[in-house]
Structure 1
Amino acid sequence: MNRIDTHHHMIPPDYRNALQKAGIDEAGGRALPDWSPEASLQTMAELDIATAILSVSTPGTTFLPNASATALAIDLNDYGAEVFASHSDRFGFFATLPMPHVEAATTEAIRALDTLGADGIVLLANNGGTYLEQGGQDELWAALDARSAVVFIHPADLPGPTVPGVVPFAADFLLDTTRAAYLLVRNGIRHKYPNIKFILSHAGGFVPYASHRMAVAIMGDTGRSPADILDDFASFYFDTALSSSAAALPTLLAFAKPGHITFGSDWPFAPLPASQLFAAGLDTYDGLDSVARQAINRNNALALFPRLGTAPAAPAPSPLDQVRHQTARVVMRGVARLINTK
């Protein structure tokens, strides 16, 4: 087994009970699936996964008031630490924080990272309608930056009514992640806190595909250079969960910085056949050689989680990738000149 899965969910019994008590029986339009550490290990064998970094998906603790949300986050992180302690070579975990309650979230982030040995933090793109970096969150960013933390950003339901016939996980989740990434770039968090390593779920939502369009908007709003904005977007990490298709991979590979793509299964919210389908897409995509495929499956994650092993030196970008990135910046400079002359 080879892969390191950075997008692998857990549903602890006490969390399931808390959701059911609140009348919540689904996430993103999908019914809560069965889960156990043993079931994860079975799935990992099917998908050639050596280690899975466990995280709680939406709604996290957002359905509870501050004190109750904090108590649930503590319980979830203690549970994650117990699973990690019993299978430290097979599991890691991203700690849940009681956002949008920044002070409590910061306290729990410090405890989880410094005491429990969490591999990082999971943050929902929006927490009860409050997006990441809508202001007032610097205390949390500073604590995470000081610890060079890995922060896994997972989408939540959009803060608005659903559209009949549109299952939230199919489209709304992608927009939610994109909104959070946009705000983190637009409001300067990527520059102010450069030690935080953000992983965007599902290949970043629409970020690679719409990066130039978003850069134009941010440029007009902030006056920053388009190349600088694009570098901020490309500096995110991106997982392949439900996204390693022949249609999506070319854009992601052309946009992401070398070493910034990790494997994701999205199990158990993605049933095993779906995870197998996208894993096979990654295995068979002819735009990847064996070195690049191994980087996505394992080596890029080793750089984020060194406790799992030593990451080999990242290979230099291919000539084709260098041309793609340079072309993107030439295009944006041209767009900037056009806008500035109007």
Structure 2
Amino acid sequence: MSGWLDVHAHYVTTRYRGECVAAGHVRPDGMPGLPGWSVDAALDVMSRTGVRAAVLSVSSPGVHFGDDALGANAAARALAAHVNDFGAQLVSDRPATFGFAAALPLTDVDGALAELARAGDDLGADAVALLTNYHGRYLTDQAFAPVLEELDARAAVVLLHPTSPPDWQATAFGRPRPMVEFLFDTTRCVLDLILTGTLTRHPSIRWIVPHAGAVLPVVAHRVAAISAATGPMVDVPGALATLYYDVAGLPLPVALDALVKVVSSDHLLYGSDFPFTPAPAVAALAHALDGDPAARTADFTLAPGSAGASLFPRLTRG
């Protein structure tokens, strides 16, 4: 596992935790709570799994917590600035070890554009982290078009991350949303990007889809076939093959095999999901990947020609 790049790793600041709790996210997405995180803990799990560098991001529920009538836009702008400044400082302290993906305060489009420019131009963000939906509005929402256009103009790397879907109360049956709902929301978001032509209109964005593609490999051919009922058939498998995928979560024993039937191994990246996946589980899953035939066809390092080197060239110089 020596020299791997981790593209699905999170950080949790004290202020971020406090603002999540104040906004009612004591048990975010139905989980027991936000996990503890520190630089030392991150470095320890990286050492135990042979990870050379990690691109850090803020997970669900993101930084925008509610209705702007209650001042949520201003609060979201401030919180996004805080977590991005924190991420940039981590990179400044350890430039060969950490990268960071900037959080944006959607649904505040003006705030998101301003923070995207600041994070990219002033902070040197390596990527941008986007949630699959923002208060029930998916990334194809016309209001978000200026943000996607700017991401395309910047040829940005976008780390996609699931969050609770709209009306989750009716679908999760009281269970934590990461159990099932996260996978379906990732699938819903990516299929919507494909079927609306949004992916085609923004060809320079480099998307990284989490959790071994969620349910996408299983439904891709079915969606393509049924798309013909309302118009020309959409080549969903072909579109999926252009995206990148991390293998965070539980890609074994089934999900990774399904993914590599649709996507070439040079589009696979390692992901730990630390600290939301506890350190012992991260180590066990990494060792299992290291011995898996399908995973071994992928290059999870920053070596020349790897997906990691293509997407995160700054880290190759570490």
Counterpart Cα distance in 1 of 2:140 and 2:156: 17
Superimposed CA distance per residue, residues 99-122 of structure 1 (whole angstroms, 9 cap, x where no aligned partner): 122222122112111211001100
Residue pair 1:244, 1:279 contacting (<8 A) in 2 also: no
- Write the letter of the residue equivalent to 1:28: D
Report deviation, 1:246.
2.4
Residue pair 2:57, 2:100 contacting (<8 A) in 1 also: yes
With CA pairs under 8 Å and 6+ residues apart, which has the higher RCO, 1 or 2? Answer: 2
Residue 143 of structure 1 pairs with residue 145 of structure 2: no
| TM-score normalised over the length of structure 2 | 0.91
Report deviation, 1:39.
1.1
Query: Which residue, 183, 197, 209 being the options, matches 1:200?
Result: 209
Q: 1:117 to 1:188 in 2, by over 3 A?
A: same
Query: Which residue, 175, 181, 198 being the options, matches 2:184?
Result: 175
In percent, how many aligned pairs have the same letter?
Answer: 36
Report deviation, 1:49.
0.8
Tell me what 1:36 maps to: 38
Residue pair 1:103, 1:139 contacting (<8 A) in 2 also: no
Report deviation, 1:10.
0.4
Q: 1:213 to 1:138 in 2, by over 3 A?
A: same
For 1:41-190, list aligned pairs within 5 A: 41-64=43-66, 65-160=72-167, 161=169, 163-164=172-173, 166-190=175-199
Counterpart Cα distance in 1 of 2:87 and 2:101: 8
Q: Name the count of aligned residue pairs.
A: 305
Per the alignment, in what secondary structure is the counterpart of residue 144 of structure 1?
helix
| TM-score normalised over the length of structure 1 | 0.85
Residue pair 1:92, 1:118 contacting (<8 A) in 2 also: yes
Residue pair 2:160, 2:208 contacting (<8 A) in 1 also: yes
Tell me what 2:300 maps to: 296
Residue pair 1:156, 1:173 contacting (<8 A) in 2 also: yes
Q: Which segments of 5 or more consecutive residues in structure 2 lack a partner in the other structure? A: 67-71
Larger radius of gyration: 1
Residue 283 of structure 1 pairs with residue 290 of structure 2: yes
Residue pair 2:7, 2:271 contacting (<8 A) in 1 also: yes
- Write the letter of the residue equivalent to 1:41: L
CA-atom RMSD, angstroms?
A: 1.7
Residue pair 2:64, 2:75 contacting (<8 A) in 1 also: no
- Write the letter of the residue equivalent to 2:232: R
Residue pair 1:219, 1:229 contacting (<8 A) in 2 also: no
Report deviation, 1:274.
2.0
Report deviation, 1:45.
0.7
Counterpart Cα distance in 2 of 1:121 and 1:62: 15
Superimposed CA distance per residue, residues 173-228 of structure 1 (whole angstroms, 9 cap, x where no aligned partner): 0001111101110111211110000111111211111111222233333x3344x3
- Write the letter of the residue equivalent to 2:316: G
Q: 1:272 to 1:187 in 2, by over 3 A?
A: same
Report deviation, 1:297.
4.5
- Write the letter of the residue equivalent to 1:129: G
Residue pair 1:98, 1:104 contacting (<8 A) in 2 also: yes
Per the alignment, in what secondary structure is the counterpart of residue 142 of structure 2?
coil
Per the alignment, in what secondary structure is the counterpart of residue 296 of structure 1?
coil
For 1:244-323, list aligned pairs within 5 A: 244-289=251-296, 292-293=297-298, 295-298=299-302, 299-309=306-316
